Chains A and B, each alone.
Chain A
């Protein structure tokens, strides 16, 4: 089979411009994209840079974008793509600075971010030196699932926030944090949550479920992030802005059964935060003029509100 490739090229250095090289390769029917890249490098262009290690879809090292879709170049077959005709586009994955060609900078993308979340176990002291700490397999299953993360970066590649804010810690590092937070042998929960609650941490996630959809190992990064936020809720949220927002929301539902958005917007900014409140003014004024804005004092109690409040109080008492 013959296949045409259009491969992203860029030399190291800030000033270098990105471009593309095209190649035509003769390949066996069962060839994968990385087979093609290897053949191109061996026979046509020794300067082409790309990564790959296990070549069995196990290590996550060879993640690239193929015709606009991120995947492992060692696991994507060329034949169906070639059958469509035209060139097969191979690019580095998104949200990651490029070092050269298809080689991306995993340090700033992932490893630096994982360093931040304290990626080691802080033993709770339950295990004696010569003994072992026995743990229920059900509990361990969740830890194991998180441990099956092989840092392929697909969740970060698909993340909604990273393209607008590269400093966001990202789902892969948050998954690593979850691995320790759901491990009963760890005792650093409060400290871990405090770290995760910093700006650019877990509250910056929009819980869009893209990360879970992109993960090839069913680790469910999004669900884990939601779980860690619920944990923070139980422990008392330490991110001031988020805490104000959550408390206002919870109080509103507790008091009236439903959400008082007028009050929520104001209370989330903070009642003494004049600068923050001023910023809301132009939109708020326009909204009021158009009969759009929710006006806090018009917010009434819903029938059944007392029953709803009782459930909330019970749930809080039980979980805290």
Chain B
């Protein structure tokens, strides 16, 4: 199993714990990664499509040349890529982008690249049974709330285009089950984390942070797990400010999906860089340490 690895910006910027944790987890599972280094940011839904479609087509063309599917570790990267790739399936549009933007560099995108988030790679290509066999530290007794964020759930034509891909809506719950943890389910798991409006309406953004984390907490969660570093910035990084705004205390640790899986694969909390979070992960760490 080999992928063109697209780590995205945040996994080395605002969430520098994510990149090394994901690389370690992939290594342990025997997933081979060839990192894409000379490609651009996806645009993250901030830059307009007329800029991001060409720069993303360039990334796809490079992966196509490598002969590999792309693996992301960010729901936003996954979403923006997926939406762009869908538009680029239109041969006329693709030909125009190729002609106007990629030909200069001698590149051409043929429309064939597959793009998968690590969560999908593990559940679809690696397989649940295979993964189960790799679990060396079942996270028994740890209560975990899933948090997908928007872009691993919507829009359906990008995320769940076929009947089989419908299962993607519950991969996190499945993962929680596979690693032996307990599910603390809650209604907000597929909602927006609030990050996209942090600039335009901070109050609204922080309200969403507070809403999701306190709802999970009220369901008895010890922590929350997310496949998206931007959700992590919102739920972990902004949690203290959200507490302040709403006048409550929440204190819910937020784990990146690879960190969570890594703990069950036997990595120590330090090897998964849990200390780099804003909300203390002590409660999770001590539970995990008792499991070994």
Residues of A in contact with B (beta carbons under 8 Å apart): 160-161, 164-165, 168, 199-200, 203-210, 212-213, 222, 226, 229-230, 233-234, 239, 241-242, 245-246, 249-250, 252-253, 257-262, 268, 279, 282-283, 286-287, 290-294, 302-304, 307-308, 310-312, 314-316, 318-319
Contact = CB atoms under 8 A, between A and B. Distances in A.
B49 A291 contact: no
Interface residues of B, number: 55
Contact of A315 (B39, B101, B194): B101
A304 B104 CA distance: 13
Contacts of B237: 283, 287
A241 B200 contact: yes
Contacts of A207: 45, 150, 196
Contacts of B150: 206-210
Given A161-B197, A303-B37, A208 B17 contact: no
Given A160-B191, A207-B45, A308-B58, A258 B40 contact: yes
A233 B240 CA distance: 33
Contact of A253 (B40, B192, B197): B40
Given A204-B204, A226-B49, A292-B276, A262 B40 contact: no
A281 to B, nearest CB: 11
19 contacts: A160-B192, A160-B208, A165-B203, A203-B200, A204-B200, A206-B208, A208-B192, A234-B50, A239-B200, A253-B41, A257-B41, A258-B9, A259-B44, A261-B13, A292-B17, A307-B38, A311-B58, A314-B100, A316-B51
B49 A165 contact: no
Given A287-B237, A290-B276, A311 B200 contact: no
B204 A209 contact: no
B101 A259 contact: no
Most-contacted residue by chain A among B12, B47, B201, B275 (CB, 10 A): B201
Nearest to A260: B13
A203 B202 CA distance: 12
Contact of A205 (B50, B194, B197, B211): B197
B10 interface: yes
B132 interface: no
Given A209-B154, A222-B155, A258 B41 contact: yes
Interface in B99-126: 100-101, 104-105
B208 to A, nearest CB: 6
B211 A164 contact: yes
A252 B105 CA distance: 22
B54 interface: yes
Contacts of A292: 14-17, 276-278
Contacts of B9: 258-259, 261
Interface in B235-268: 237-238, 240-241
A206 B197 contact: yes
Interface in B1-52: 9-10, 12-17, 37-41, 43-51
Contact of B278 (A208, A258, A287, A311): A287
Contacts of B238: 283
A54 to B, nearest CB: 28
Pick from A290, A303, A310 the residue with the most CB of B within 10 Å. A290
Contacts of B204: 161, 164-165, 168, 204
A230 B40 CA distance: 19
Contact of A234 (B17, B44, B48, B195): B48
Nearest to B51: A315
A260 B199 CA distance: 16
A283 B38 contact: no
A314 B48 CA distance: 14
